Amino acid sequence: DVLVLLFHLAPPFDFDESDVYMSSHEHHFRLFSSVEYEGQLYMTPQNFIESVTMSEPRMKKPWRSLTKQELEKILSDTPPVWKGTSKLFRNLQERGIIAYTEYLFLLCILTKPHAGFKIAFNMFDADGNQMVDKGEFLVSMQLYGYQIVPVNSVLKKESQEFVPRSYWDMLRRGASQALFSDLAEHANENMMIDSTLLVHFFGKKGKAELTFEDFYRFMDNLQTEMLEIEFLTYSKGMTTISEEDFARILLRYTNVEDIRSYLENVRQCIPDEKGITFDEFRSFFQFLNNLEDFAIAMQMYNFACRSIGQDEFGRAVYVATGLKLTHHLVNTIFRIFDVDHDDQLSYKEFIGIMKDRLHRGGRGYKAVEHFTSFKSCLKKELAGR
């Protein structure tokens, strides 16, 4: 998972192969970030929205340097977490800064099932008191990023090799109290530049603590907000999007070469457009975030070796995720992916394409990968386990 998500490496445009390599996520962050403070790059909330919903920025301008006074004003206007809504990023727009490790954290939230939220919170909660303080959060973010420079930074100058660790991979392997204790000794809060996320979670003085309820609501709101933005882009003020647009969204960040043939499938098989509601749209992406559990369920039912029908598909989704997809939504999914029109869905084809779609946000930098850089990266990842 970590190799798929974080190690699509290729050289920067103006570097030779012998020079430093960037992960696709770091490149994506540089591409969409628009502000700089003390030599470090940051995204604004609007930048983050665009990085998730667009393959390229609307307009790429030179990085804007923030003064200390401007940053203090931005942070002073940041709402506390208990006032958070599913419009937080849209309301803040350019009035906020997001560090690179926070960007990775936010991307991970977008692709994780609700069941994983408690696991994440417990990993942040090093002392087990059901509250997360700023120090505990920073220690966990240190596990997330590289250690050569301050943990929340991507330097304006591309001068260092970056080998990030997958935070969620670390969660699966488990991190001991000893590891947290050791890192805590080196986590100096005074060296950190406060960001919008830190102030949102822990207040302007950094003394507030984060409850699981607030943490869960923030993660759920973030998922909802990004889905709302994507949905509204296509709905144009209506309560539904067309089945064709739904297909276009699903295939947007995949490696499918001939998207037109899939769209043609939808046009021919659903001539009478009914539309996909936001509730259906959201339920599908909640299912997508549970894709690994669904794949396991499919294997248990021995569906992995053959194609399945709509009823079997719906049952497998419910067993694996607890989600009930509407008949119309399931039918639309089949119309998109049933390329041979036998009303059966190929497990391997569907799972493969959707796993690719799941990791959106890191797909903006498509380039030929160099085997030497991948091999070097793989060695470092394995050495860190």
What would the pLDDT profile of 187-201 be if each residue is shown by its tens digit?
A: 444 456 899 999 999
Residue 354 lies in a domain: yes
78 alpha carbon, distance to own chain's centre: 22
Answer yes or no: are the C-beta atoms of 362 and 25 closer than 8 Å: yes
DSSP for 167-218, written as a single string: HHHHHHH---HHHHHHHHHH--GGGSPP-HHHHHHH-TTS---EEHHHHHHH
Structure confidence at residue 228 (pLDDT): 95
Structure confidence at residue 182 (pLDDT): 40
Structure confidence at residue 10 (pLDDT): 31
One domain, residues 375 and 289: no
List, in order, residues 6 or more apart from 113 with CB less than 8 Å away: 286, 289, 290, 293, 321
One domain, residues 171 and 320: no
Within a 10 A sphere around the Cβ of 71, how many other Cβ atoms? Answer: 18
Percentage of residues in the chain having pLDDT higher than 90: 35
One domain, residues 41 and 162: yes
One domain, residues 18 and 139: yes
Per the model's pLDDT, the better-predicted residue between 335 and 23 turns out to be 335
Residue 29 lies in a domain: yes
Q: Residue 19 pLDDT more than 50?
A: no
List, in order, residues 6 or more apart from 34 with CB less than 8 Å away: 43, 44, 47, 57, 61, 63, 64, 94
Residue 245 lies in a domain: no
Structure confidence at residue 82 (pLDDT): 93
d(CA 320, CA 135): 36
Please tell me the least confidently modeled range out of 36-45, 187-196, 322-331: 187-196
Total domains present in the chain: 2
One domain, residues 131 and 112: yes
One domain, residues 41 and 158: yes
What would the pLDDT profile of 144-158 be if each residue is shown by its tens digit?
A: 553 333 444 555 555
One domain, residues 337 and 369: no
3-class secondary structure, 284:
helix
One domain, residues 203 and 87: yes
Q: What is the CATH number of the domain that holds 354?
A: 1.10.238
One domain, residues 202 and 337: no
One domain, residues 282 and 181: no
Q: Residue 218 pLDDT more than 80?
A: yes
Residue 232 lies in a domain: no
d(CA 24, CA 48): 15
One domain, residues 31 and 163: yes
What would the pLDDT profile of 294-321 be if each residue is shown by its tens digit?
A: 888 777 766 556 778 899 889 888 988 8
Tokens representing 370? 């160099």
List, in order, residues 6 or more apart from 119 with CB less than 8 Å away: 171
Quote the domain boundaries for residue 275.
Answer: 254-358
Looking at mean pLDDT, say which of 71-75, 184-188, 285-289 comes out highest. 71-75
List, in order, residues 6 or more apart from 257 with CB less than 8 Å away: none
Residue 237 lies in a domain: no
Structure confidence at residue 308 (pLDDT): 81
Structure confidence at residue 155 (pLDDT): 59
One domain, residues 107 and 48: yes
Tokens representing 44? 């604004």
Residue 229 lies in a domain: no
Structure confidence at residue 59 (pLDDT): 81
Residue 153 lies in a domain: yes
Structure confidence at residue 44 (pLDDT): 96
Residue 230 lies in a domain: no
Q: Residue 71 pLDDT more than 90?
A: yes
